[in-house]
């Protein structure tokens, strides 16, 4: 039997830690909490976690620095950032550092729970997700949905975050189709786009860079006031089970 997903909540507000600990426990998660960066690092060194809920502002450092360190040491642990509503710059930087989602304070615990479940599904930590039987090939790259692996022409793994992988998969499942920013947010994160939300643009920029897109060999097309579409040829084949 699969164990319950283990969530680490990092926030210096004791009331928030207590509230989330009780609420998430009631929603079927194991929960550990940390009040600052030091305690967070201790918990990460002593246990295994499926997801981290991380406040940007901590008394002994920035949650963004923790996020940056995780991308180097534990790149497969998804992160949801908690930010104040006006900290748009921190949200963008967090996404650039590899955070999988963010939620502004104050927030509804039900919405955070929905975000956690969505990120866990995307990262493959949710047993309800059925593995795909297809392999996608495009521009000398290969994507395997069941293992969430992307490889280049030499067979080397392309290190994508969960959000980047999901965005790429959306395009591969809809080759040649123009997708608006609203559609991409809905398909990848299950939420509507705020008029000032630049998360899709940030993810697209990172995805293009990691896949080695150049002006001479474009992978995606940006349509002004329209969105994005993949221009590379996409092929599929059956994956051995």
Average pLDDT over residues 111-129: 73
pLDDT of residue 191: 54
Least confident of 17-31, 89-103, 226-240: 89-103
Model confidence, pTM = 0.55
pLDDT tens per residue across span 145-175: 878 899 999 999 999 988 899 899 889 988 8
48: its two tokens = 């295994």
User: What is the enclosing helix (H) or strand (E) of 144?
Assistant: strand 141-144
- Which of these CATH numbers, 3.30.1180.10, 3.40.50.2300, 3.30.450.70, 3.40.1710.10, describes 6-123? 3.40.50.2300
The fold of the 134-238 domain, in CATH, is Arc Repressor Mutant, subunit A (1.10.10)
8: its two tokens = 């680490």
Burial of 7 (0-12, 13-18, 19+ CB in 10 A): buried
pLDDT tens per residue across span 71-105: 777 777 899 988 875 555 566 776 777 788 888 88
Is residue 130 predicted with pLDDT exceeding 50? no
pLDDT of residue 91: 62
Contact 200, 193 (CB under 8 A): yes
């Amino acid at each position: 039997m699969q164990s319950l997903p283990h969530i680490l909540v990092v926030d210096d507000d004791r009331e928030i830690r207590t509230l989330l600990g009780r609420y998430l426990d009631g929603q079927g998660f194991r929960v550990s909490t940390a009040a600052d960066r030091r305690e967070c690092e201790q918990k990460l060194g002593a246990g295994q976690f499926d997801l981290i809920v991380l406040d940007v502002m901590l008394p002994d450092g920035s949650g963004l620095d923790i996020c940056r360190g995780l991308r180097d040491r534990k790149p497969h642990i998804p992160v949801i950032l908690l930010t104040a509503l006006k900290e748009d710059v921190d949200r963008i930087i967090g996404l650039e550092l590899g955070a999988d989602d963010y939620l502004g304070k104050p927030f509804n615990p039900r919405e955070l729970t929905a975000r956690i479940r969505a990120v866990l599904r995307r990262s493959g930590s949710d047993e309800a997700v059925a593995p795909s039987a297809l392999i996608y090939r495009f521009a000398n790259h290969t994507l395997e949905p069941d293992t969430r692996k992307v490889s280049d022409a030499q067979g080397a793994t392309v290190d994508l975050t969960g959000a980047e992988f999901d965005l790429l998969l959306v395009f591969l499942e809809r080759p040649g189709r123009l997708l608006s920013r609203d559609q991409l947010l809905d398909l990848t994160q299950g939420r509507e786009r705020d008029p000032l939300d630049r998360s899709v643009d940030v993810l697209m920029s990172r995805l293009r860079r990691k896949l080695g897109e150049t002006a001479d060999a474009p992978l995606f097309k940006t349509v002004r006031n329209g969105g994005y579409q993949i221009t590379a040829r996409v092929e599929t084949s059956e994956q051995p089970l």
